[in-house]
Structure 1
């Protein structure tokens, strides 16, 4: 069954992980959905690279963080925080592509 990530996650957010990296947090609504998401690897390097139009090598890591029912993904920031022309110094508006991501559970 396909569903949008926003329908199974309680929180989807992005933030700086230093001036050269962005981290995305997906916190799931319940334990069963979190475990299924982890088992099926619905968030993986290829998906993140495709969503953010970056090479797979720029996906630094994907971490399953069980205490928070969360999956965290970190990427190389396409533009350093505060660099001339960069429009989101805090990285707080970069999660939008994840919101409507359709996943198979």
Structure 2
């Protein structure tokens, strides 16, 4: 991997910070809305409120995985990109 220029580094830092900020905002909204649903469940005896909590929680978990583990600059993604690049290079050399 080539070294990043200061401009590229700044752009990547802004992109990653924005993605993390987006996840934090998503998590905050999840907490507020689901706190309200939990209050509804206890006050009115609603049992359906568990479904949005679980479904949205799963979506929030996937969002977190994408941002913190698979996002640009994350170790897992970089390894996968490197392997794919090497595989493509071998195919090009073989043809």
If the length of structure 1 is used for normalisation, what is the TM-score?
0.21
Q: Which has the higher contact order (CA 8 A, sep 6+)?
A: 1
More strand by share: 1
More helix by share: 2
If the length of structure 2 is used for normalisation, what is the TM-score?
0.22
Higher Cα Rg, which structure: 2
